[in-house]
């Protein structure tokens, strides 16, 4: 009887150890998947949410020029960035009041808006996204901005979703980040 109980406990220990190792392996693999950066993965259907958020017509030909998704750090920090060539930008592109009503502005950002744009650009540089323009290039090209979402803690931007449209090349840029 004692040998039988001893054998059952040993078997139970082996099964428990095996289950713990499997659980550890699954956890490690899932963390590893979120830590891998992806580049040039997006197609037109992957950027439709940007068009909807920017109130940009969906019935057009668009080309995703570049895309980037960083791995997610343990604290949730991440960056997503897209560069999309549009056929048409806005149904009322010639009407500044309509653009403003949809949240677009050609005014140079300042305050928290500027802080969020600078964070987006610095995250782009940090991740070696050479295809993202500099602040000076954006100013020179009369870029339109839409700050779709900002999260602010103690007067500091911690996450944002920003769109920028460069009319000259018909390029829509998008950043979503958390720092």
Residue 2 pLDDT: 81
Q: Are residues 70 and 136 in the same domain?
A: yes
What sign has the CA pseudo-torsion 54, 58, 63, 69?
A: positive
Cβ contacts of residue 69 below 8 Å, gap of 6+? Answer: 37, 38, 41, 78, 79, 80
Q: Are residues 7 and 25 in the same domain?
A: yes
Q: Which residues constitute the domain of residue 79?
A: 37-178
Q: Are residues 42 and 21 in the same domain?
A: no
pLDDT at residue 31 is higher than 80: no
Q: Which tokens belong to 46? A: 């992957």
Rounded to an integer, the average pLDDT of 5-25 is 88
Rounded to an integer, the average pLDDT of 97-105 is 83
Residue 29 pLDDT: 66
Cβ contacts of residue 134 below 8 Å, gap of 6+? Answer: 121
| CB 165 within 8 Å of CB 147 | no
Residue 140 pLDDT: 84
Higher pLDDT, 176 or 25: 176
| CB 87 within 8 Å of CB 122 | no
Given pLDDT bands bounded at 50, 70 and 90, which one contains residue 24?
confident
Read off the pLDDT of residues 104-127 as tens digits, 9 standing for 90 and up. 988 888 888 999 999 999 999 999
Q: Are residues 45 and 61 in the same domain?
A: yes
Read off the pLDDT of residues 148-157 as tens digits, 9 standing for 90 and up. 999 999 999 9
Residue 92 pLDDT: 60
Q: Are residues 158 and 128 in the same domain?
A: yes
Beta carbons within 10 angstroms of residue 4's beta carbon: 8
Residue 94 pLDDT: 62
Rounded to an integer, the average pLDDT of 54-81 is 90
Q: Which tokens belong to 74? A: 């343990």
Higher pLDDT, 122 or 29: 122
Q: Are residues 90 and 104 in the same domain?
A: yes
Read off the pLDDT of residues 77-97 as tens digits, 9 standing for 90 and up. 899 999 999 999 876 656 667
Tell me how far apart the alpha carbons of residues 80 and 132 are, in angstroms, rounded to a whole number: 12
Higher pLDDT, 22 or 35: 22
Q: Are residues 164 and 152 in the same domain?
A: yes
Residue 76 Rama label (left phi>0; alpha psi -120 to 50; beta): left
């Amino acid at each position: 009887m004692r040998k039988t109980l001893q054998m059952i406990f040993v078997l139970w220990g082996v099964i428990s150890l095996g289950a713990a190792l499997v659980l550890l392996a699954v956890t490690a693999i899932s963390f590893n998947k979120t830590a891998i950066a992806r580049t040039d993965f997006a197609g037109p259907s992957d950027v439709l949410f940007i068009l909807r958020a920017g109130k940009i017509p969906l019935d057009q030909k668009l080309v995703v020029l570049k895309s980037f998704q960083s791995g997610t750090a343990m604290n949730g920090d991440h960056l997503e960035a897209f560069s999309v060539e549009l056929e048409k930008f806005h149904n009322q592109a010639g009407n500044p009041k309509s653009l403003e009503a949809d949240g677009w502005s050609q005014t140079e950002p300042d305050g928290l808006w500027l802080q969020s744009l600078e964070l987006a650009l610095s995250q782009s540089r940090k991740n070696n996204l050479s295809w993202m323009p500099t602040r000076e290039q954006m100013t020179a090209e009369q870029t339109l901005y839409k700050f779709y979402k900002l999260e602010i803690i103690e007067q500091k931007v911690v996450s944002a979703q920003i769109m920028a449209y460069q009319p000259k090349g018909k390029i829509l840029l998008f950043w979503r980040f958390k720092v």
